[in-house]
Amino acid sequence: MIGNKEDNTRTNSRREQADSGRFCWVNDKIAVPGKETRMNKQETTMAETPKTAKDAVTTHLADIEVILDWIGMELESHEQTAIDEPNNWGIPNELAHVKRNLKETLAFLSGNEVSEIDKSLEELRM
């Protein structure tokens, strides 16, 4: 099995980070206070080009963290829409698309096959 049920605490942790001010909305864009990112257009225009691979990794990881937080907020919004509109099949279709893309991303990063990820998800649902 690839993951475990304790991994679900990451979602709660991300939500707590959002609530604690780790990022905010500026002009309909997500921004991280005090960080210079492409998304934080309030204080900077462009982040510097990384000088080393380590700098590039640091920048990518920071951007990915913001994207994951943003995805978490969008998922919460979709969940609320599903509650408000229980017969709206667009929401589960969109989430199926997101899940498919996330499984492909996880397979790429981990070296596991998508079928292995599917099997682990099935085991977690039991």
Residues pairing with 30 in the sheet = 25
Domain locations in the chain as residue ranges = 5-125
Q: Is the pTM of this model over 0.85?
A: no
Pairwise pLDDT comparison (23 vs 41), residue with the higher score: 23
Alpha-carbon distance 64 to 67, whole Å? 5
Distance CA 73, CA 88 (A): 19
Residues 34-51: tens digit of each pLDDT? 555 454 544 444 567 878
